[in-house]
Structure 1
């Protein structure tokens, strides 16, 4: 049987298959040991993890075999061992081994960062090669790694050659029929894999780590490539559209909001300022979006690390939101939540999708109030499609400027951060101190004109490789996340120190919030604690500093600010005024690119793309999820939020031109 599956002509193919399966199993076992404390370690679970993982490995390697199988089957017997045969075979084997080792070594760096197999993030990284390659080069000793990789490939080829595999491949008389019979099982596996195997089948456990171990990294990569944009109605539980809109409108109406077209499938409504604010005020607004800062790192949110003295001090001088959650796990998801004030739609963030310009964003509210809107980014805003999104929604761009706006029809002002303005730069952009210097410079210009401005400032220093100018803090540059956080906090302090000496400071409100947590990984479908982020509003006129403990979402931050400023305005935003939110309306929306969660009263409903709905009790003390019988009313509310958000995006309900008809 073995000789029929791998005749002599297939000797090298057999060696490659066995090598691939062995290394893949070794990687899986390594990750199992790495995350052993988080994995379901029951005997049945461990055995099933290894078996399911092996099946996905076989499915993965079957795709690798197809090009070589065509070559083996069709290549004439009389040319076996010829120069052409040896050249093609040797090159193909070298390339296959190189890709295999590169992929598996890459999985270790990806797991270290995200505790996951390759997913949509890895797909995105292929697009933005400059930033990613630079980041890898600054984070790891790249010449040593590449050299070691090539040595390992050469050593592998040497060992296989010494075992006589190449000789058996070249010196035989395996006939066409025998080769075809041997190739058919592999073709069958490919067909079955394409038609019947999905990445969902690896997610058989309630334990997220176990599911990740059951996957094959390369298979997961291509699955993410294929499924990075998911239509909610096609993949998730739905209810009748009218019922979904009625549910959302009832929730919004409970907060005293008036719908402009109540009969339509839209949520456009008018917001009336609260009675306690008599006069509408229009201060400058500087919003600082901090890269990857989890709430667990702040002393003011329960930590004992002493690495955020500035933010901890500001917490006592601001409206400090202690129970606010990010909607997602990536910067673009945070930007989506902040600017569109919308629940996360499945798949890619709207920032990276088609039809993402000309939308109703918080920028439109600022425009109606007479503000200039500016987006500051220390890197090239081409990354993650940020320039196209912000520029296409009315923001002026201030960035490092190596790339170009993707959409040539977008007309916006673009200001470059010049070389002379840069004191330190890494793969992701200039250090936070430099971006704040640019913000100060542009604010001075705006103040002279006398027009209020809204600045959206995206920081970069709290990101691997965590490098920054030496001598600013007591943690050496490049030594890890704690250093990145402390430097980020230090620069905010220095920025505010400079701003306080400016004539525009008294009339400027500072909003500070993280885009997402440092890591979303955990053993559960959605690790709730890893969505908890810091958020505060500082220097707000007519406001008494206070800690706001209401459960809330990223999408609520700017509707809360607008209310605090006493603004009347029309809105298409889902977000609510946290300060006036009734206890029964407190909730948070969290998710990743496939799982969508609705959190309320320490209960969370998790919607999956296999039309699944799992209901849990969340224990904040140990961050655990305990299964509950599904609550149909809770489920309906969760579905309504995500279904309506997706409907509005898919049907132009977020477009300004459609809302103004």
Structure 2
């Protein structure tokens, strides 16, 4: 008999063995008490639920600059452990109920009904939590934490709800959630009834104790989730400096809960006094006094015709998305033309990635470093002595396409700028375009009428014009009739990928913003106030981008790209074309505009003149999340120094060397000086936010 004739017999034997193995495994499974089996099944389904969402995150939302597979595999490993921990924690109430009720687990309605309600609520909360987390990550590039409740603030809920409605497929998402909850409810109810019909496995006291001890040990080990002295902690997910890898390693629900016990905003007078000499020297305070904590600098004005001042805040306009900083798609030709004819600031940084924080920061001259709510929402932080209020003889204007109740921004202006006129939705003739109010095109068109009227009356004005369309839902209009959105067929997609944009909609939105900047300049020229107006245009922060590498420094990896914004001054009658390479900050804008316009003022803020070349070693103070941990930072032309506020670890990066290498040990004197200045900025800001009242 040859070997080929034996093959059918081997196949039969293998088949029999597989059947026997299946029967044996089924026997072992059935020998486990059915209430324990139900617990195991539900915990496995909870775990599968989390793993599926993790896979969705990885496939559709995850982005990183890490090239090796090892960190990503480690992130997956940690993430699966966190998921296991949460599944087991959620399974504990079911486990306790099962072991207390034992075989009555399937016969008592008083157990069945609360059990079903519990599982339904768990899946309901978890599903919405995971979906909102994905949306939050898509919007901000960060896992959701308790600060998300700022979007539920009184007076803002409706606007934020409309933004969600207009930016995301809400109806389809809700239908999907409803269908999923229906199917998962069928799963846990049918499993319950099916197991309830099976014969009960009677356990003696010793066997019962053995099963109880085994399950407690398994649950405890899974929740502990670490073969070490300490249990698995969320900080272990931060083993790289890459936000994407860290986010992949975290469980969003556990991360949210771990951040619920946040500190309250306050200030520390002894700390402020400790670093006051450093801050006073940096700012060139007129009369330094550590006891009075005086920050005042008196700036003289000049005689002559008063220039108008217009601040144009460009929504989500980071440096990297514009033509001035060589984005491969060159999406902002109008801005580039103005910047080439004016003053371009290559290293302009905002203190934080938030529109509300930027409006507060530019107006008050103080970085918004609040821990939870933005400073504009803190009643004790709204009252400030601001430079805009000191434009004597000027009409003071704030123009927004939407509603100024947003983030309590109205109070920042009305409480601090006497006689300011606010123009918002309800005033404009144009209809609302989306949740953010009238379109930027219509806002600029109607703002021009206001500017022309003031110019006709020979009344100088200082105006804050806030654009908003470069923001989800990325609404664009035809403008004068000649703005056209592009599609993938119209552009070089290889170049598009290198540019960092996450979608065609985002790309069209920045193009539309640039179109409207051109529209503003055209109207100003026709209106006769172009030559007598100083325009400063600045981004409030960068937008969420895919990894990009065309900038002079690896700012995407350093996270500084999020706070690196576009900024330029345009006023041909007053300034000559130039490029400023030293670092400047958002808080410097009003002191600079007042000085350019010849306005005398007292500077109570942390801002300085952006054009004062006598100041050396300039830095911009910023806060950002790196690995989902808050860092305070100073960013200069050469050095970037940052302090992790959780661990107090600090890092020094040299843009003229290896920008991603910590060189603190190589330059200890530089590190020490920047550490003192960083802490001086931080403590001075905390103090002034509460103590710079009029």
* 1:531 paired to 2:563: yes
Tell me the residue number matched to 1:301.
325
**1:61 shift after superposition:** 4.3
Deviations 1:120-157 (A, max 9, x none): 56333344443333223222332222212222222233
Tell me the residue number matched to 2:426.
418
Tell me the residue number matched to 2:7.
none
Match of 1:207 among 221, 237, 242: 242
**1:249 shift after superposition:** 1.5
Alignment RMSD: 4.1
Bigger CA radius of gyration: 2
Deviations 1:606-638 (A, max 9, x none): 2112242332435589x9511223444444444
Give secondary structure in 2 for the equivalent of 1:489.
Answer: helix
Tell me the residue number matched to 2:140.
114
Contact persistence 2:631–2:642 (CA under 8 A): yes
Tell me the residue number matched to 2:585.
553
* 1:134 paired to 2:162: yes
Q: Distance in 1 between matches of 2:232 and 2:378?
A: 27
Matched residues, number: 623
* 1:496 paired to 2:521: yes
CA gap of 1:597–1:110, structure 2 versus 1, over 3 A, is same
Deviates more, 1:495-504 or 1:647-656: 647-656
Tell me the residue number matched to 1:568.
600
Match of 1:613 among 631, 649, 666: 649
* 1:145 paired to 2:165: no
Tell me the residue number matched to 1:362.
387
Q: Distance in 2 between matches of 1:28 and 1:628?
A: 36
Give secondary structure in 2 for the equivalent of 1:473.
Answer: coil
Tell me the residue number matched to 2:17.
none
Contact persistence 2:39–2:98 (CA under 8 A): no
Give secondary structure in 2 for the equivalent of 1:551.
Answer: strand
TM-score, reference length from structure 1: 0.81
**1:447 shift after superposition:** 4.7
Q: How does 1:93-492 map to 2 (within 5 A)?
A: 93-119=119-145, 122-127=148-153, 128-162=156-190, 164-168=191-195, 199-227=234-262, 241-253=272-284, 257-259=285-287, 261=289, 263-272=291-300, 279=303, 282-345=306-369, 347-348=371-372, 349-366=374-391, 369-394=392-417, 415-418=423-426, 421-447=429-455, 451-470=459-478, 471-475=481-485, 479-492=504-517
**1:645 shift after superposition:** 4.4
Q: Distance in 2 between matches of 1:126 and 1:187?
A: 37
Deviates more, 1:603-612 or 1:178-187: 178-187
Tell me the residue number matched to 1:400.
none
Deviations 1:274-294 (A, max 9, x none): xxxx53653222211010012
CA gap of 1:187–1:445, structure 2 versus 1, over 3 A, is farther
TM-score, reference length from structure 2: 0.77
Q: Distance in 2 between matches of 1:36 and 1:387?
A: 37
Tell me the residue number matched to 2:499.
none
Contact persistence 2:400–2:424 (CA under 8 A): no
CA gap of 1:355–1:432, structure 2 versus 1, over 3 A, is same
Tell me the residue number matched to 2:115.
89
CA gap of 1:420–1:270, structure 2 versus 1, over 3 A, is closer
CA gap of 1:462–1:111, structure 2 versus 1, over 3 A, is same
Contact persistence 2:455–2:529 (CA under 8 A): yes
Q: Distance in 2 between matches of 1:204 and 1:189?
A: 21
Tell me the residue number matched to 1:405.
none
Contact persistence 1:131–1:427 (CA under 8 A): yes
Q: Distance in 1 between matches of 2:197 and 2:393?
A: 76
Contact persistence 2:398–2:422 (CA under 8 A): no
Q: Distance in 2 between matches of 1:459 and 1:506?
A: 22
Tell me the residue number matched to 2:9.
none
CA gap of 1:624–1:155, structure 2 versus 1, over 3 A, is farther
Give secondary structure in 2 for the equivalent of 1:460.
Answer: coil
CA gap of 1:432–1:336, structure 2 versus 1, over 3 A, is same
Gaps of 5+ in 1: 398-412
CA gap of 1:221–1:457, structure 2 versus 1, over 3 A, is farther
Contact persistence 1:123–1:224 (CA under 8 A): no
Give secondary structure in 2 for the equivalent of 1:580.
Answer: coil
**1:467 shift after superposition:** 1.5
Give secondary structure in 1 for the equivalent of 2:381.
Answer: coil
Tell me the residue number matched to 1:402.
none
Give secondary structure in 1 for the equivalent of 2:611.
Answer: helix
**1:393 shift after superposition:** 2.5
**1:264 shift after superposition:** 2.8
Deviations 1:74-116 (A, max 9, x none): 8898685455544433333223223323333333333333333
Q: Distance in 2 between matches of 1:167 and 1:496?
A: 73
Contact persistence 1:32–1:39 (CA under 8 A): no
Match of 1:578 among 595, 610, 614: 610
Give secondary structure in 1 for the equivalent of 2:380.
Answer: coil
